[in-house]
């Protein structure tokens, strides 16, 4: 079969108000989604096994890493005791509080432990796994709508084998944020603005970077406003206004608690060395890395961030729908311009799935032209993802 048989994108209607695709519920779409989700589950379960084996090899209690790695302990403590009960004084004297962590994930963990006989750690991992599956399904539907089944399957597979995809199976917020963000973007691509705004508001309650979804909806709504010369359905206005409420509400709540309504949350984040400094911190890191080296994790993180920049440029040239381009662009901007540990930056790029479109299309073409080579590439990416995921979560001592 020639590469011309690979599904290719057709000219797209304006992304904001495109009607719902009739094929979204067809048996063929559902069957393709099941296959893609099975592939995703197989890869990520293999990742869980790799982490468990690494736990055993390093004499950690089995499964400890899945539920109690770095930020997981803060989220689980909030789920059990609420906010304002956990404070850490750093060696430099900075006061780090649990107000830096957004409330949706620990709130859901608390709800699950009330409803089911699970510990907070078990509930956190179960939520992460369920959300990862929901995110993968939304990812498949977006890819299928834009490029067809082959690219959608490749997109889900690539997301499963990202170097830091292991964090989709930890008690972290990445899975939950990804699920809410992906489905919000799927809704806005199909003109379901009320659903999109509601999901975006929830995404804003899950992570500090949640406002990237609201930005995607807001920019798209403004462009539609200009294109339609001010005449837009009320649902578009409502969705765009709903989108930032979750993020803004929590920021203002923390500000009220600290006595500085507009700046309190950013003071809290600053104590965690997390602030937007227009890349000054990243430049200092690069200088130190080139002068003194950085083991395995930090150079690897630099390669991933550089790849994200390159893929963003390719995405712009590819003419991706506006909300997807804005979403990915804001996440990349936060990674490049934000301070904080460089080893955590690849995790912040996990939800930026539009960056994978150029690679997914290339992999789909390779599958039709040279399937053996495509399988070999997929197997190599999977092996690297599993090994690096186990290393960075269990062996390395760098912040996730």
Angle (deg, nearest 10), helices 245-258 and 193-204:
30
For 42-185, strand residue ranges (E) read: 87-89, 95-97
Q: 101 exposed, middle or buried (CB, 10 Å; 0-12, 13-18, 19+)?
A: buried
Query: Over the stretch 127-165, which tens digit does the pLDDT of each residue have?
Result: 999 999 999 999 999 999 999 999 999 999 999 999 899
The CA-CA-CA angle for residues 229, 232, 237, to 5°, reads 120
pLDDT for the residue 34: 92
SS3 338: strand
pLDDT for the residue 19: 40
DSSP β-bridge partners for residue 97: 87
47, 385 Cβ separation under 8 angstroms: yes
pLDDT for the residue 61: 78
- DSSP character at residue 88: E
pLDDT for the residue 24: 55
pLDDT for the residue 157: 96
- DSSP character at residue 391: I
pLDDT for the residue 27: 62
Residues 6+ apart with CB under 8 A from 165: 43, 44, 47, 159, 350, 385, 389
103 phi and psi, to 5 degrees? -90, -15
Distance (Å, rounded) from C-alpha 72 to C-alpha 124? Answer: 8
Query: Over the stretch 226-247, which tens digit does the pLDDT of each residue have?
Result: 888 778 788 999 999 999 999 9
pLDDT per residue as tens, the chain (400 positions) = 333 333 343 334 343 444 444 345 566 688 889 999 999 999 999 999 999 998 888 887 777 888 888 889 999 999 999 998 878 777 777 788 889 999 999 999 999 999 999 999 999 999 999 999 999 999 999 999 999 999 999 999 999 999 899 999 999 999 999 999 999 999 999 999 999 999 999 999 999 999 999 999 999 999 988 888 778 788 999 999 999 999 999 999 999 999 899 999 999 998 888 888 888 888 888 888 887 777 788 888 889 999 999 999 999 998 889 999 999 999 999 999 988 788 888 999 999 999 999 999 999 998 888 888 888 988 999 999 999 999 988 888 777 7
Q: How many residues does the chain have?
A: 400
Rg (Cα) of the chain, in Å, rounded? 21
| Pair of tokens at residue 174 | 């990445």
125-128, long-range: CB within 8 Å, 24+ apart, which pairs? 125/66, 125/67, 125/169, 125/170, 125/171, 127/171, 127/175, 127/176, 128/168, 128/169, 128/170, 128/171, 128/172, 128/174, 128/175, 128/176
């Amino acid at each position: 079969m020639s590469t011309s048989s690979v599904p290719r994108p057709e000219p797209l209607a304006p992304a904001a108000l495109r009607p719902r695709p009739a094929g979204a519920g067809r048996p063929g779409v559902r069957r393709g989604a099941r296959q893609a989700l099975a592939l995703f589950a197989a890869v990520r379960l293999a990742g869980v096994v790799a982490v468990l084996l690494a736990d055993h090899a390093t004499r950690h209690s089995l499964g400890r890493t899945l539920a109690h790695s770095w930020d997981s302990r803060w989220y689980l403590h909030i789920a059990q005791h609420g906010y304002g009960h956990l404070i850490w004084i750093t060696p430099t004297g900075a006061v780090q509080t649990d107000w830096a962590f957004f409330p949706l994930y620990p709130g859901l963990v608390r709800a699950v432990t009330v409803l089911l006989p699970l510990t907070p750690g078990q509930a956190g991992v179960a939520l992460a796994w369920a959300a990862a599956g929901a995110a993968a399904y939304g990812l498949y539907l977006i890819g299928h709508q834009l490029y067809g089944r082959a690219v959608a399957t490749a997109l889900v597979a690539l997301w499963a084998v990202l170097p830091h995809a292991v964090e989709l199976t930890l008690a972290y917020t990445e899975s939950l944020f990804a699920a809410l963000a992906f489905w919000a973007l799927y809704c806005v691509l199909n003109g379901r603005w009320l659903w999109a705004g509601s999901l975006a508001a929830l995404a804003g309650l899950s992570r500090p970077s949640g406002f990237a979804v609201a930005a995607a909806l807001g920019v798209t709504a403004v462009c539609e406003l200009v294109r339609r010369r001010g005449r837009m359905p009320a649902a578009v206005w409502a969705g765009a206004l709903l989108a930032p409420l979750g993020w803004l509400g929590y920021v203002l709540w923390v500000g009220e608690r600290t006595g500085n309504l507009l700046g309190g949350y950013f003071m809290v984040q600053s104590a965690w060395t997390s602030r937007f400094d227009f890349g000054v911190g990243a430049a200092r890191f690069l200088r130190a890395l080139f002068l003194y080296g950085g083991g395995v994790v930090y150079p690897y993180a630099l390669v991933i961030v550089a790849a994200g920049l390159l893929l963003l440029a390719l995405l712009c040239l590819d003419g991706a729908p506006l909300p997807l381009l804005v979403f990915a662009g804001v996440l990349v901007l936060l990674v490049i311009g934000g301070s904080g540990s460089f080893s955590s930056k690849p995790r912040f790029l996990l939800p930026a799935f539009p960056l994978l479109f150029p690679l997914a299309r290339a992999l789909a073409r390779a599958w039709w032209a040279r399937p053996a080579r495509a399988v070999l590439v997929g197997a190599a990416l999977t092996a690297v993802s599993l090994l690096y995921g186990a290393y960075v979560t269990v062996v390395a001592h760098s912040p996730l």
